[in-house]
């Protein structure tokens, strides 16, 4: 009887450890991706990266520059994202900030002097608010610049043009221009 128990135990052990030749295992893998949008700016020949190019200088020398205006170099905006987007633009205030010696004629409205034009569009979207030609930049009120931009690696280029005329005192006029990239 003792031998019969050992033989039965051995058969049960072997049977319990055996596998069919066609068996397998599976797993489900999930990747949880979030929508991401990234932006950087640069000017040809230097600057850029890190989200900004610092200061764009537009120097005025001579009578023609004051009356006809002066353009900035092309500024390139590089976009990377996983969702459709729009881009708006506005100045941080309605007036330029003045630095200089004059106590009069130094309040320069941004919308009266500063314009922007989109010179190249590789966003997959459309140029809005007629920014395919020079349009004024509003202070504190955003204007849509690019609509329905598409996911992927995208870019667009633009220029500023400032035309101050002869109504303002000599000095340095500055403002911050704010571009907002929004997921649609």
Does residue 80 lie in a domain region? Answer: yes
Tell me the C-alpha to C-alpha distance, in Å, between residue 69 and each of 32, 64, 66, 90, 127.
51, 7, 6, 20, 23
Q: Which two tokens stand for residue 116?
A: 């922007």
Q: Within a 10 A sphere around the Cβ of 81, how many other Cβ atoms?
A: 19
Does residue 102 lie in a domain region? Answer: yes
Does residue 18 lie in a domain region? Answer: no
pLDDT at position 7: 42
Does residue 12 lie in a domain region? Answer: no
Tens digit of each residue's pLDDT, the chain (184 residues): 444 444 444 444 444 555 566 778 888 989 888 888 888 888 754 444 444 567 888 888 889 999 999 999 999 999 999 999 999 999 999 999 999 999 999 999 999 999 999 999 999 999 999 999 999 999 889 999 999 999 999 999 999 999 999 999 999 999 999 999 999 9
Question: Which CATH number goes with the domain that contains 135?
Answer: 2.60.40
- Cβ atoms of 1 and 9 closer than 8 Å: no
**Domain region containing 104:** 36-54+65-183
Does residue 126 lie in a domain region? Answer: yes
DSSP-derived pairing of the beta strands 172-174 and 114-122: unpaired
Does residue 129 lie in a domain region? Answer: yes
Q: What is the pTM of this model?
A: 0.79
pLDDT at position 6: 43
Does residue 103 lie in a domain region? Answer: yes
pLDDT at position 52: 53
Residue 35 to residue 55: CA distance in whole angstroms: 30
Number of domains in the chain: 1
pLDDT at position 9: 43
Does residue 25 lie in a domain region? Answer: no
């Amino acid at each position: 009887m003792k031998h019969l128990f050992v033989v039965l135990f051995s058969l049960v052990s072997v049977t319990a450890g055996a596998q069919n030749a066609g068996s397998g295992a599976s797993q489900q893998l999930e990747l949880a991706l979030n929508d991401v949008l990234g932006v950087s700016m640069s000017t040809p020949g230097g600057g850029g990266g890190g989200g900004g190019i610092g200061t764009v200088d537009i120097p005025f020398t001579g009578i023609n520059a004051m009356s006809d205006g002066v353009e900035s170099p092309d500024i390139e905006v590089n976009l990377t994202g996983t969702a459709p987007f729009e881009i708006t633009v506005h100045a941080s205030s309605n007036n330029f900030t003045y630095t200089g010696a004059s106590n009069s004629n130094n309040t320069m409205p941004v919308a009266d002097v500063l314009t922007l034009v989109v010179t190249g569009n590789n966003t997959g979207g459309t140029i809005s608010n007629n920014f395919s030609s020079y349009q004024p930049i509003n202070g504190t009120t955003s204007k849509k610049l690019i609509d329905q931009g598409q996911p992927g690696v995208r870019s667009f280029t633009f220029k500023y043009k400032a035309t101050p005329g002869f109504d303002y005192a000599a000095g340095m006029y500055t403002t911050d221009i704010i571009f907002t990239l929004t997921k649609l």
